[in-house]
Structure 1
Amino acid sequence: MSAFLRTASWRIAARPTATVARAFSSTPARSVARMQIIGHLADTPELKATSTGHEIIRYSVASNRGPATNRQTDWFNIVSFEPEGARRDYMQSLPKGTLVFVDAEATMGTFEDSEGKVRSAMNIKQRSIEVLRRPASEAHDEGSH
């Protein structure tokens, strides 16, 4: 083995294998399943109160897949914990049909349905939302004022 290969292999083997603390965050690392969804709002986002008294915004996004002759739609129910203020007001003003890009965290949960069967559900929590395009009828209305 050449001196170069011996030196290079020693450097690779000598690297620490322990996990290094994250320098950019003061919180501990945790596993998170992230999703990015591009689709149209099924309806205007709604403000709801939880059983604990917190307010959340719930909305659904429809995302189409497949060729035009065999198009299928996937529906994603999303929750946002946006605090009271301009951003929350803006979200609630988005009309049905708005094309959005949602960055979210996803978790799987289980619950018991009314028949006593254990069911699974995906919980999607919005991290951020970006409007890509408003519906054509609204864009036309805004331009006429």
Structure 2
Amino acid sequence: MSFLVSPARRSAVSGLTHRAFSTSRPSQLARLTLVGRLGADPELVETGKGQLVRYVVGTSFGPKDNRQTSWFRVASFAPEGPARDYVMGLNKGTLVYLEGDATMRTFEDSDGKKQSALNVVQTKVEVLKRQQPKEDDIEGDSVTGIGP
């Protein structure tokens, strides 16, 4: 069975396959995905609008003899409860997978020089590998492993 389509109808139907444009402004969004290690234990910080958790993630690249590390400051606005406890329970050196919204901020430092900073607000974090405690960090008898 075949269908006959008039030329006017054919152009209207073929127009549906073309990209449509909207008059509304698209929201500006910059997403960042990182795999790296925590540079320090997360800290809970008081702000005028409540509390947030701050931490630093370092990512390394390049050959071992010339490895370079980039550091990213991350903020988590997780409300009190399991989500916040999860982030606060991470230790320095933990390998994490992180997704976040990124914004660039420019400011003048104390010397009057213009500086830029990349702000990352965590939307998702997963632990890939927990940092094993060093022997020096373990309290107790080194032979029995029993603490005080």
TM-score scaled to structure 1, two decimals?
Answer: 0.76
Name which of 42, 45, 49 aligns with 2:42. Answer: 45
1:83 corresponding residue in structure 2: 79
Aligned length: 129
* C-alpha spacing 1:17/1:86, structure 2 compared with 1 (3 Å): closer
The CA deviation string for residues 40-80 of structure 1, in whole angstroms up to 9 with x for no partner, is 01111100012x14211100001110111211111111111
The answer to whether structure 1 residue 67 and structure 2 residue 69 are counterparts is no
CA distance in 2, matches of 1:56, 1:97: 21
CA distance in 2, matches of 1:18, 1:75: 39
CA distance in 2, matches of 1:95, 1:137: 9
**Secondary structure of 1:122's partner?**
strand
Q: Which runs of 5+ in 2 are unaligned?
A: 1-6, 139-144
RMSD of equivalent CA atoms: 3.0
The CA deviation string for residues 74-123 of structure 1, in whole angstroms up to 9 with x for no partner, is 11111111111121112111111110001011111111211222222111
1:18 corresponding residue in structure 2: 21
Q: Where do 4+ consecutive residues of structure 1 move more than 4 Å?
A: none
Give the aligned residue type for 1:18.
Answer: F
2:96 corresponding residue in structure 1: 100
Structure holding more helix per residue? 1
2:121 corresponding residue in structure 1: 125
**Secondary structure of 2:27's partner?**
coil
CA distance in 1, matches of 2:95, 2:67: 17
* C-alpha spacing 1:133/1:20, structure 2 compared with 1 (3 Å): farther
Q: Percent identity?
A: 40
Which structure has the larger Rg over C-alpha atoms?
2
**Secondary structure of 1:137's partner?**
coil
